[in-house]
């Protein structure tokens, strides 16, 4: 039994991969399973079918993309052809001046170590000694 491809519908994971919203189809499927892909306002599983006119919202790398399905494709195509298969309704990215003012934490910084906490306590004027127990 061979699967038949129709020109009116496609799997959402295959379509968002084919129009180059994700690098691999498996990454698109993982995003669907994680709840980062919504079709017409409903969280989409990878096998959900999309049709022309459907609105797809994809959250990837901290950016939300909003696209309207213009044409169904099943295979990955070049960027100019992929651009013809969707209508991009994504909001414009924030200006670089705004991004520069946002505080950013060093990658992998995590929670402070005990040594870093002690240094912070010394800087703030707190002592290393525990408080005296009353009644000793």
pLDDT tens across the length of the chain (136 residues): 345 556 789 999 999 999 999 999 999 999 999 999 999 999 999 999 999 999 999 998 888 999 999 999 999 999 999 999 999 999 888 788 876 776 676 777 778 888 888 888 888 788 755 655 555 5
Nearest-angstrom CA–CA distance, 76 and 81? 10
pLDDT of res. 125: 82
Query: Which residues on neighbouring strands pair with residue 42, listed in sequence order?
Result: 39
Whole-number pLDDT of residue 7: 78
SS3 content of the chain, % helix, strand, coil (to 5): 30, 20, 55
Model pLDDT, residue 2: 40
Provide the terminal-to-terminal Cα distance of the chain, rounded to the nearest Å: 84
What's the pTM value of the predicted model, to 2 decimals?
0.68
Confirm if 19 and 69 have CB atoms less than 8 A apart.
Answer: no
Which pLDDT value is given to residue 1? 38
């Amino acid at each position: 039994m061979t699967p038949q491809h129709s020109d009116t519908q496609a799997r959402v994971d295959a379509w968002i991969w084919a129009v180059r919203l994700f690098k691999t189809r498996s990454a698109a499927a993982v995003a669907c399973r994680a709840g980062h892909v919504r079709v017409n306002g409903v969280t989409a599983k990878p096998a959900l079918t999309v049709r022309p006119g459907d609105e797809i919202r994809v959250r990837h790398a901290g950016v939300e993309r909003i696209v309207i399905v213009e044409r169904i494709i099943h295979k990955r195509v070049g960027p100019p052809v992929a651009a013809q298969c969707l209508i991009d309704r994504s909001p414009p990215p924030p200006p670089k001046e705004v991004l520069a003012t946002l505080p950013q934490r060093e990658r992998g910084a995590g929670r402070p170590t005990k040594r870093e906490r002690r240094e912070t306590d010394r800087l703030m004027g707190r002592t290393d000694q525990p408080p005296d127990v009353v009644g000793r």
